[in-house]
């Protein structure tokens, strides 16, 4: 088995550090905040009033869950940390929390 030189080990370590820093910067730049998540949820529901909001934080990312009431319809919407709609359901009548 061939031994790596100090130069090669330093190069590999530097590459790993740069990759980790780049990943953290990307996550920080691309993630959304609470206000943007609310706007996405309201847009998906076509407007209305937020009657329940939950935020789960895991490391650098958050996941957002909303229940929106609009007229006689309700919407349950889950938004991922980068603004993607993970799950959405709707119904009519009064919303009943499971």
From first to last of the 98 residues of the chain, give the pLDDT tens digit. Answer: 678 888 888 999 999 999 999 888 887 778 899 999 999 999 999 999 999 999 998 887 899 999 999 989 999 999 999 999 999 999 998 887 76
pTM: 0.74
pLDDT at 19: 93
Q: Give the list of residues 6+ apart from residue 66 with CB closer than 8 angstroms, or none.
A: 37, 38, 41, 50, 52, 53, 54, 75, 76, 77, 78, 79
pLDDT at 46: 94
């Amino acid at each position: 088995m061939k031994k790596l030189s100090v130069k090669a080990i330093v190069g590999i370590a530097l590459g790993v550090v740069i990759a980790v820093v780049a990943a953290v910067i990307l996550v920080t730049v691309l993630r959304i905040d609470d206000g943007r998540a609310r706007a996405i949820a309201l847009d998906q529901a076509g407007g209305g009033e937020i009657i329940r909001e939950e935020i789960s934080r895991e490391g650098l990312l958050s996941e957002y869950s909303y229940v929106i009431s609009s007229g006689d319809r309700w919407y349950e919407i889950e938004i991922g940390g980068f603004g993607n709609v993970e799950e959405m359901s709707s119904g009519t009548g009064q919303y009943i929390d499971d």
